[in-house]
Structure 1
Amino acid sequence: MDIESGTANQVEIIYEDEFLVAINKEAGLLVHRSWLDKGETRFAMQLTRDAVGCHVFPVHRLDKPTSGVLLFAKSSAVARSLTEAFTEHKVTKQYLAVVRGFMPEQGTVDYALSFKPDAIADKFANLDKPAQEAVTHWRRLAQIELPFAVSKKHDTTRYSLMRLTPETGRKHQLRRHMRHLFHHIVGDTSHGDGRHNRFFRTQYDCARMLLHAQTLALSHPVTGEPLLLTAELDDQWIRIMEEFSWVESTKK
């Protein structure tokens, strides 16, 4: 069902059966309550529970500024099965991202990521963990060169539309990998480039991080049938796609 994005007490459900429910999480919505965001009153888990009329169990997570497919189980047994599928890399996640610069047509970044604790949520975590293996595959869908000098070194500015497929699921993996490659995701206030974030806010009225979990592919944990969940882009994304003539590129 399609629900207007941003409606205070509603979520957009993209799939539901007696075992699962998937929503299109809006940017800025927390998955569940967090000590780090005490002022927040809306959470995807509670909104989804209220929408479907039963308790739901999170089986993976999306960062607060990331939009897209978010899957819940309706029982603890199904949740365990799905969590195992994610852990064993049996679920394929594909994201859309806008990054600074022109990236190669395709490639893979294999770069281990150190554990990054949250000041409160991970206060008692082991800080001596070794860096964890992290692998991300990418494919460039489109690119554009704009006649704006965002950097003093260049008279123009380049951006790429990327499809990112993480093989592992480390914290902020895509954001940190793109920073590692010096192709920061636009709108990322933690791992991005402030100049490009400000440019998109002022030039295109786009204040969100341009990272969207577009598809989730898996085997249904009960029936075994293949399941492809797809989340549509929000208005800010669509405005950028239309401005850059990238709409058809997202369908590649």
Structure 2
Amino acid sequence: MVPPLAVLHLDTDLVATDKPPGLLVHPSALDAHEERTALHSLQAQLGERLFPLHRLDKATSGVLLFARSREAARHWGPAFETGAVSKRYLALVRGWPPAAGEVDYPLARDPELPSAGQVRVPAVTRYQRLACFDWPFQVDGAHPSSRYALVQVSPLTGRRHQIRRHFKHIAHPLVGDSTHGKGAHNRAVALWLGVQRLWLHAASLELPGGLRIEAACGPEWAALSA
């Protein structure tokens, strides 16, 4: 039996859940074979229709927010569209990026299509390095160990795959990212930590007015505690 989704917040207008990795937010043509989604599961749990206010990639875990009515969706939707919602993620990346930085790099609108010829839209991501790791296994043949870092990430815009694409752009791809990352490192870290996943977690979001919702990391993140 599939366990119910954890409810992080519930009020008259909004409901937030802690989405596990591997679960779609809503039905998608890209995963037409998937029958279970966060939207359908939470609607069944609450016995009401819900309206997604934003998205997380299927492989990403963490805070996911829904409106409980069309009116609430119309009220809160623009806050996500204009970047007025503050989001904080945790990610494990390849290498040791600078202690803090900002990636201001326009992205093609649709990451599923070739970038050439697409209009590029503004995209800005800030990050802070929380911890560095030098693990005793060899991946590229040139170094006896491999370096990774735990980073806190704040996307200031909301483009698809923005965090994953921006960290690829600065040559520190996310571990476990099968699209934008490095397969050899993904496999090596999965073997070292005993977990195969995209190491990206939506840790919190804060709405205008001060409502802050947080989702604790899963137990697999304990090895990365800063």
Give the TM interval when normalised to the shorter protein: over 0.9
Displacement, 1:34?
1.1
Q: State the SS of the aligned residue for 2:108.
A: coil
Contact 2:49 2:68 in 1 (8 A): yes
1:21 aligns with 2:15: yes
Q: Per the alignment, do residues 103 and 118 of structure 1 end up closer, same or farther by CA in structure 2, a change over 3 Å counting?
A: closer
- Which residue is 1:33 aligned to? 27
State the SS of the aligned residue for 1:46. Answer: helix
- Cα pair 2:39 2:52 within 8 Å, conserved: yes
8 Å CA contact 2:111, 2:161 repeated in 1: no
| Secondary structure of the structure 2 residue equivalent to 1:233 | coil
The 1-side partners of 2:90 and 2:36 are apart by 25
In 2, distance between residues paired with 1:43 and 1:134? 28
Aligned partners of 1:116, 1:128: CA distance in 2, in Å?
11
Please name the residue that 2:145 is paired with. 156
Q: Partner of 1:4 in structure 2? A: none
Find the residue that maps to 1:179 and give its secondary structure. helix
1:122 corresponds in structure 2 to none
**Other structure's SS at 1:199 match:** helix
Structure 1 position 35, deviation (Å): 1.4
CA distance in 2, matches of 1:150, 1:218: 42
Deviations along 1:38-84, whole A, 9 cap, x unmatched? 22121000111112221100010000000000000001111112110
Aligned to 2:44: 50
In the alignment, structure 1 segments of 5+ residues that lack a partner are 1-6, 120-126, 220-224
Query: Are 2:51 and 1:62 equivalent residues in the alignment?
Result: no
Answer whether contact 1:100 1:186 (CA < 8 A) is retained. Answer: yes
> Partners in 2 of 1:27 and 1:83 — Cα distance?
24
> Percent identity, aligned pairs only?
42
Judge conservation of contact 1:28–1:66 (CA < 8 Å) in 2: yes
Q: Indicate the SS of the match to 2:204.
A: strand
Normalised TM-score (structure 1): 0.85
Q: Which runs of 4+ in 1 moved over 2 A?
A: 115-119, 235-238
Q: Which amino acid aligns with 1:114?
A: A
CA contact (8 A) 1:115 1:132 kept: yes
CA drift of 1:25 comes to 0.3
Q: Secondary structure of 1:164's partner?
A: strand
SS at match of 2:120: coil
Cα distance in 1 for partners of 2:47, 2:62 equals: 22
**TM-score normalised to structure 2 length:** 0.94
Q: Match of 1:196?
A: 185
1:74 corresponds in structure 2 to 68
User: Which region of structure 1 is more displaced relative to structure 2, 63-72 or 152-161?
Assistant: 152-161
Q: Which moved more, 1:229-238 or 1:66-75?
A: 229-238
The 1-side partners of 2:195 and 2:13 are apart by: 36
TM-fit CA distance, 1:233: 1.1
Query: What does residue 169 of structure 1 align with?
Result: 158
Q: Is the 8 A contact 1:9 1:47 kept in 2?
A: no
Correspondence 1:140 to 2:129: yes
Cα shift readout 1:129-169 (whole Å, capped 9, x = no counterpart): 41011000000111111121112121111111000100001
**Contact 1:98/1:160, CA 8 A, preserved across alignment:** yes
